Amino acid sequence: MNYLSDNDVVSLRRDSSGIRVIWRDASPHNSVLLTERCNNYCLMCSQPPKDVDDDWLIEEAERLIPLIPRSAREIGFTGGEPTIYGERLITLLTRAKHYLPDTAVHVLSNGRRFSDPGFAAQWASIKHPDLMVGIPIYSDDPTTHDYVVQAHGAFDETVRGILNLKRLQQRVELRVVIHKQTVARLPQLAEWICRNLLFVDHVALMGLEMMGFARANISDLWIDPYDYKDTLSQTVNTLQTYGVPTSVYNHQLCTVNPDILSAYRKSISDWKNEYLEACTQCVRMNDCGGFFTSSKLHRHSDHIQPFLA
């Protein structure tokens, strides 16, 4: 229990068999799961959707918010697909605004629910001073995007959702998970974003997390980050040339070109972030994003080389 500290929030099991930590005040990576249900079925989903009644998760989130210190910098809400709660999600975010007025809120969503102008308007009505929604776009080709998320028509709904949100001046981040199905058209996707969605607030280019469906579909998804580093450089260059704020997440420094370092971020949550034994002699280890624990265990780049000077 020595990892617990002041202002952490824990959930006690009713039978006293254990506790679950749901907020760590010293961590910058607090993310609250709201549901495991989702209307997408993404090939690489690290949290495979379940058709279950898990409303207790949002109930727990509602109880959690008043317990979080007002000094908290950011809180994330994720799923599954949080927008399946509809108005109840709006109520939760409004609650966060009132209890934590200085805390940034980031919500992960597939964006499809926002294709309903009414729901987008409800979202905007929260008037949160620092609220962003992260929405995935996996290709400029609708067929490819729909294949990755395993949902026909998802691309059109997602794009309409983004347009509805930005029409209401809401902050939107685009998220692109890079794998074998998405990497080939990554430069074209960057061009498409710059020509059609130049008004988005941020684009995150993300390495693959080797969990859930990603492990089950590894033969269809895995590509060594070292092998697409030039494609990644081209993509980042295009986005930055157009002035789109861009970040590269979940990659190791030795697998990317130096020209993308202005966009490089240490992004892996601390509780699932590790390094290889070879990394201990690297002089840049403290600047490197490291590995997901799952990647260390199951699959990572074959080109990990420590910087020695």
- Predicted local confidence at residue 60, as pLDDT: 95
Burial class (CB in 10 A: 0-12, 13-18, 19+), 101: exposed
pLDDT at 26: 87
Average of per-residue pLDDT across 229-235: 98
Q: What is the pLDDT of residue 295?
A: 84
Predicted pLDDT at 2: 81
Please report the pLDDT score of residue 3 as a whole number.
82
| Confidence at residue 17, expressed as pLDDT on a 0 to 100 scale | 79
pLDDT digits (tens, 9 = 90+) for 136-178: 999 999 999 999 999 999 999 999 999 999 999 999 999 999 9
Q: Give me the pLDDT at residue 33, please.
A: 96
Hey, what are 268's tokens? 């892996």
Confidence band, pLDDT 50/70/90 cuts, at residue 271: confident
Mean pLDDT to the nearest integer, 24-53: 93
User: Which residue is it, tokens 């620092």?
Assistant: 130
The model's confidence at residue 249, banded by pLDDT at 50, 70 and 90, is very high
CA angle 167, 240, 254 (to 5 degrees): 130
Q: Is the pLDDT of residue 270 over 90?
A: no
CA dihedral 282, 288, 294, 297 (to 10 degrees): -10
The pLDDT confidence band at residue 298, using thresholds 50, 70 and 90, is confident
Both tokens of 263, joined, read 């966009």
Mean pLDDT of the chain: 95
CA 17 → CA 22, 54, 245, distances in Å?
16, 21, 46
Per-residue pLDDT tens digits for 92-127: 999 999 999 999 999 999 999 999 999 999 999 999
Can you tell me the distance from the alpha carbon of 124 to that of 239, in angstroms, rounded to the nearest whole number?
A: 27
For the segment 224-244, the average pLDDT, to the nearest whole number, is 98
Name the residue among 108, 135, 201, 123 with its Cα closest to residue 168: 123
Report the alpha-carbon distance of residue 225 to residue 219 in Å, rounded. 15
Q: What pLDDT is recorded for position 14?
A: 80
Give yes or no for residue 242 having a pLDDT over 80. Answer: yes
pLDDT number for residue 228: 97
Closest CA to 179 of 222, 243, 147: 222
Transcribe 32-46 into DSSP letters.
EE--S--S---TT-S
pTM above 0.85, yes or no: yes
Q: Which of 46, 22, 41 is nearest to 33 (CA)?
A: 22
How confident is residue 43, by pLDDT bands cut at 50, 70 and 90?
very high
Closest CA relative to residue 69, chosen from 100, 31, 104: 100
pLDDT of residue 27: 86
- Would you state the pLDDT for residue 76? 96
Q: Is the pLDDT of residue 16 over 80?
A: no
